[in-house]
Structure 1
Amino acid sequence: MDLRQLEFFSAVAGELNFTRAAERLTIAQSAVSAGVRSLESELGVELFDRSRRQIRLTSTGELLLPRVREALDAVNEVRDVAQQSTQAITGSIVIGLMTSVTLVNVPRLLGLYRSGHPGVGVRLRAARRGSADLVEELASGELDLAFLALSGPVPATLSAVPIASSPMVLVVPAGHPLAASPTVDLAALDGEEFIDLPPGYASRQIVDDAFAAAGVERRVMIEVSDIGTAAEYVTNGLGVALLPEFAAHDALSVRRIPVAHVPDFTVYLAASRKRRASAAVRAFVNLALSGE
């Protein structure tokens, strides 16, 4: 058994797809498949059920995955100690992020990070089901860090620092009866048809919680998975939307109206409290919080 076999197993377990795992590790799929098969042979168990269209972990694989990730973390800790004498940081980090959320200039951060730490490999993973997905992947060890949004207090399982925010605004077509209003109360939106993201996305939860607190029901008629496209549905007269202001900034033929009693959309840089942060992770966090 060697370290690469464990890395292959962890990556495939995170993606539940050999092709995506190979892309994440930037190696050939055949090497990943062979490495996992070799590990299964050495252990005398099957780690993945390959009998279905999408592979999944066997019960043994689910039992071993947390131990494997703990072992990989321990190896990273050994590497960190060894590097303290050279001041050079190596290794890799996996960062989760929300698609179309531009409040944080992630490409700029990555460019600065790569310049300062060329020995660290960085992989990005987009949320598949919003911030709720990122929280789960931090907890499972699939991600080292994530740029995510939250509704309500930070979960006890996370260490999270707010780094950017945007007010929530009502987005309506230019000819809507509320278009000229300087501000809107949630009670005035009773009966409107809404465009929103699916449950699990932080902006959706912020709005759902605000309406529940106000005792006002609302109808979500269209759900879109990309916050960057939601305002376009408003432009085309398909409803109204409550969105972070940045997501509607460039939309045509709409009005953006401040809304009372709806919290801001806030982006956090988050990590799991259960995992020791490697030197590579700490260096990225320091850079992201430095304001450079």
Structure 2
Amino acid sequence: MIDEEITLKKLEVFLAFMRLHSLARVSEEVGQSTVSVHRALHSLEEGLRCPLFRREGRNLAPLPAAFVFARHVQRAVAETEEGIRQARELAGVEGRRLKIGSLYSLTLRCIPQLLMGLKLRRPELQVDLTLGSNQELQQGLEEGRLDAIVIGLQAPLDEARADARFLNVPLFEDEVRLAAPLGSPYAGRDHVDLRDLRGEKFITLGSGFVTAHSFDHAFQQAGYVPETVLRVSDIFSLINLVAGGMGYSLLPGRVAGFSSRIDLIPLDARYASRQAITLLLSTARERDPNLLALAAECRMYGVKREALPG
């Protein structure tokens, strides 16, 4: 039986002393007082029921038993650390692989910049990127299939309704606009009144996407239900259908770079709808170094974006 006085923490202190040969230096390295370090070494001797050191003035000198014990302790601590690493990696915590979910509409600028920054912070990290709707990504996060997701939430965020299971790290807000084919009657306007489009046909994304929610929200503000002729499952098809003259839609400003064949025209302020692009991760894992690095990169992205003119 291993005596209860022998703990991994004391073994780590013991190995630090065998390497540094100084109570003061060990104290600095492990963040404990010299009295606590001395007490840990003394209690380790009591647990072993044999001496490991002899006093030499104010310091301790290792006995032959300490060197023999250190060789075995080194292997035991190394094996324990490796076991912890493998267990955490298998559980998806602090591994060398991070599973991130994102919206398709964020893959033009936001996600590439985040991933490049993350790789600079954590060069050894491998990233799996999953694209989907808000609903799919949130389900993946809740079920543990994803470690973090970058999604859009209807702005302004309601703190009272925030899910305590998840930590929110805001990146930026995006304005929803009217998406029209080039040369439409609304081209060149500073803004459009959605009530002027009452007789037009619309295309939108299916339920589960934040942009579908923004679409419904804007028309609720306008006071009518638009004629929706088609619902699609990805934003690229929607952009191409609008460009081809199949109908109008409401899309966030961030998709402007995906196509030069559509106009994105601001809505009248009465029907404004905004999306908060946000990183979500489990509060139970907020101290995971990989997720801390991702959160830091998201905050940096938000600061840089706010600094841009306009």
TM-score (normalizing by structure 2): 0.59
Q: Which runs of 5+ in 1 are unaligned?
A: 1-71, 80-88
Rounded to whole Å, the distance in 1 between the matches of 2:147 and 2:257 is 31
2:250 — aligned with what? 242
Pick from 286, 290, 300: which aligns with 1:280?
290
Relative to structure 1, the CA distance from residue 150 to residue 269 in structure 2 (aligned partners, 3 Å threshold; closer, same or farther) is same
Counterpart mapping for 1:155-166 below 5 A = 155-156=162-163, 157-166=165-174
CA deviation map 1:200-227 (0-9, x unaligned) = 1001101102212332111221222222
Q: CA deviation at 1:187?
A: 1.7
Match status 1:106 vs 2:106: no
Pick from 285, 300, 305: which aligns with 1:290?
300
Match status 1:228 vs 2:236: yes
Relative to structure 1, the CA distance from residue 75 to residue 169 in structure 2 (aligned partners, 3 Å threshold; closer, same or farther) is same
Greater share of helix: 2
* SS across alignment from 1:95: strand
1:131 — aligned with what? 134
Relative to structure 1, the CA distance from residue 288 to residue 276 in structure 2 (aligned partners, 3 Å threshold; closer, same or farther) is closer
Counterpart mapping for 1:65-144 below 5 A = 75-76=87-88, 91-102=96-107, 104-127=109-132, 130-144=133-147
Aligned residues: 212
1:202 — aligned with what? 210
Relative to structure 1, the CA distance from residue 165 to residue 279 in structure 2 (aligned partners, 3 Å threshold; closer, same or farther) is same
* SS across alignment from 1:267: strand
- Cα contact 1:186–1:216 (8 A) shared by 2: no
Rounded to whole Å, the distance in 2 between the matches of 1:250 and 1:94 is 25
Pick from 169, 172, 196: which aligns with 1:188?
196
Relative to structure 1, the CA distance from residue 161 to residue 103 in structure 2 (aligned partners, 3 Å threshold; closer, same or farther) is farther
Match status 1:148 vs 2:154: no
Match status 1:174 vs 2:177: no
Relative to structure 1, the CA distance from residue 231 to residue 271 in structure 2 (aligned partners, 3 Å threshold; closer, same or farther) is same
Q: Which runs of 5+ in 2 are unaligned?
A: 1-83, 305-310
- Cα contact 2:166–2:281 (8 A) shared by 1: yes
2:50 — aligned with what? none
Pick from 199, 205, 212: which aligns with 2:220?
212
Q: CA deviation at 1:93?
A: 1.8
- Cα contact 1:76–1:278 (8 A) shared by 2: no
Pick from 228, 246, 264: which aligns with 1:256?
264
Letter in 2 for 1:193: K
Rounded to whole Å, the distance in 2 between the matches of 1:91 and 1:256 is 41
CA deviation map 1:123-144 (0-9, x unaligned) = 21122xx111111221222211
Letter in 1 for 2:99: V
- Cα contact 1:73–1:276 (8 A) shared by 2: no
Relative to structure 1, the CA distance from residue 164 to residue 228 in structure 2 (aligned partners, 3 Å threshold; closer, same or farther) is farther
- Provide the identity percentage: 27
Q: CA deviation at 1:280?
A: 1.6
- Cα contact 1:228–1:247 (8 A) shared by 2: no
Rounded to whole Å, the distance in 1 between the matches of 2:139 and 2:241 is 30
- Cα contact 1:195–1:234 (8 A) shared by 2: yes
Pick from 263, 266, 288: which aligns with 2:276?
266
Relative to structure 1, the CA distance from residue 248 to residue 111 in structure 2 (aligned partners, 3 Å threshold; closer, same or farther) is closer
Q: CA deviation at 1:183?
A: 1.2
